[in-house]
Structure 1
Amino acid sequence: MTSATSLNTEIDYPDSDGKPMAESDYQRPYVAYGTEVLNIFFADQPQVYVSGNLLIYYEEGNPKACVSPDVFVVLNRPKGKRSSYKVWQENNQYPDFILEITSRSTVSEDQGIKRGLYAFWGVSEYFQYDPSADYLEPPLQGYQLIDGNYFLLPATTLPNGGLSITSKVLGLELHLEQGELRFYNPATGEKLLSHAEAEAARQAAQSKAERLAARLRELGIDPDLV
């Protein structure tokens, strides 16, 4: 006689749902940016797991019960590489924050089935960003879960005309700057940079310092004494 436990061990939970990656040049950079900068921001917090485009299986024994959020954060779960996120193996913890990068092919699902599913899971905050600004108005929207339903988070208009929405879950602000999604740390006022952006900023600062030093030497001033 075969036990239910042995049957479950034989079930295959694929690392991919078999569907082609349908991200365009609009969506792809923001999935990578969001996942990378949040991993950097939470790097020193071992119990915060950040991932993106990873299948979440939410019913043990049913490999069809899965969804792949663009970017998600789970508090109180250890870091570590996973081929997929199986809720029953993660102390039954669902994401606390989800960001979907919306496109023509996903807007109906992002606004309908996924939003309902994430509310059912108890995801505290659900954000959507439309990089093409064709399907959401405004292109950046955040929702907070209250009594099982999502309600829009307030958006603040920035001096540059952009938008800012605070994520209490992350302790960060999501900004819309000239149509671009960026994360900010309100404690420092600094933009979260990817590794490539941080390196580019470092090189730019170094180049500026070298030009200034050269100019000071032309004027007969030792830059080391300034």
Structure 2
Amino acid sequence: MAESDPARDYLIYGVEALKHYFNPRSDVYISGNLWLSYEQGVPDAVVCPDVFVVFGVENRPRRSYRVWEENNRIPDWILEVTSRSTHRTDERDKPLLYAQMGVREYFQYDPSGDYLNPPLRGRRLVETEYEILTPEELEGGMLSIPSQVLGLELRVLTDGRLRFFDSVSGEYLRSPEESEQERIQERIRAEQERIRAEQERIRAEQERIRAEQERIRAEREQLRAEDAERELEQLRNLLRERGINPDD
């Protein structure tokens, strides 16, 4: 079980973000905090990785992952979220076990920064042993290690958060919470755009009404002027009929 909120949060992030990323593929299984039995008939031959990815098996729910029931497909990639109670095992025992199993890449991440320096560590299997992957320091102090297995970068951002980065799209894989926040923000932006469009329609309608009112006022003024001119002409005619010069 996750030892702390950060450990749980990154376990969820790792599983859910990778599930979403590999969702179009039916031959990639992603899970975490699940019993993984790697040797048939040996009850103690079990491990419970925080996040793991297996290529070449059916993407379906499982109660546990038994290697011998999966055509002997072991995880290709594993992430352990290191904590106070697990850091020694994660650093000392699991690299030996995972290398022996044939896990192609093994990553560790320490959310607190208390047990790993730097807080992100990667290993890649070369024949039967792991080669340490040194993080690259990016602009702003971010740390990055590319995963050949996933086709993604693992990055520790300047605020200490772990995120997967897709260099093809140039975007970070979002957590479920971040995805929901993005959906909410998108709905807010759409509603704001709808309100702006409605306000623009109202302003245009008000402008049309003002123009129509101005036209009506101008027509009324014109009619009044014409009426006044007719009345004046009628008066002049009346004066002429009475023998009076209207211009005197």
1:39 aligned to which of 7, 10, 19: 19
Cα distance 1:221–1:75, how it changes in 2: closer, same or farther (>3 A)? farther
2:160 aligned to which of 179, 188, 204: 179
The gaps in structure 1 that reach 5 residues or longer are 1-20
Which position in structure 2 is the counterpart of 1:201?
182
Number of residue pairs aligned between Structure 1 and Structure 2: 202
Which position in structure 2 is the counterpart of 1:191?
172
CA-to-partner distance for each residue in 1:90-137, whole Å, 9 max, x for gaps? 111111000000001001100111110000011110000000100000
2:43 aligned to which of 56, 63, 69: 63
CA distance in 1, matches of 2:195, 2:63: 52
1:133 aligned to which of 113, 119, 124: 113
1:96 aligned to which of 76, 81, 97: 76
CA distance in 1, matches of 2:193, 2:187: 10
Alignment of 1:9-20 (within 5 A): none
Residue 156 of structure 2 aligns to a residue whose secondary structure is: strand
Identity %: 50
Which position in structure 2 is the counterpart of 1:85?
65
* Residue 148 (1) aligns with residue 144 (2): no
CA distance in 2, matches of 1:221, 1:120: 72
Which position in structure 1 is the counterpart of 2:53?
73
CA distance in 1, matches of 2:203, 2:193: 13
CA-to-partner distance for each residue in 1:52-92, whole Å, 9 max, x for gaps? 01111112111111000000001111111111111111111
Cα distance 1:114–1:215, how it changes in 2: closer, same or farther (>3 A)? same
Which position in structure 2 is the counterpart of 1:50?
30
CA distance in 1, matches of 2:25, 2:193: 39
Residue 27 of structure 1 aligns to a residue whose secondary structure is: helix
Contact kept in structure 1, 2:136 and 2:145, CA below 8 Å: yes
CA distance in 2, matches of 1:114, 1:104: 15
Using the TM superposition, give the Cα deviation of residue 154 of structure 1 relative to its aligned residue in structure 2, in angstroms: 3.5
Which position in structure 2 is the counterpart of 1:159?
139
Residue 112 of structure 1 aligns to a residue whose secondary structure is: helix
Q: Normalising by structure 1, report the TM-score.
A: 0.83
Residue 145 of structure 1 aligns to a residue whose secondary structure is: strand
RMSD: 1.9
Which position in structure 1 is the counterpart of 2:212?
none
Alignment of 1:207-218 (within 5 A): 207-211=188-192, 214=195, 217=199
Choose 1 or 2 for highest CA Rg.
Answer: 2
CA distance in 2, matches of 1:37, 1:214: 33
1:170 aligned to which of 131, 134, 150: 150
Which position in structure 2 is the counterpart of 1:3?
none
Q: Which amino acid aligns with 1:183?
A: F
Cα distance 1:188–1:22, how it changes in 2: closer, same or farther (>3 A)? closer
CA distance in 1, matches of 2:5, 2:77: 24
Contact kept in structure 1, 2:13 and 2:176, CA below 8 Å: no
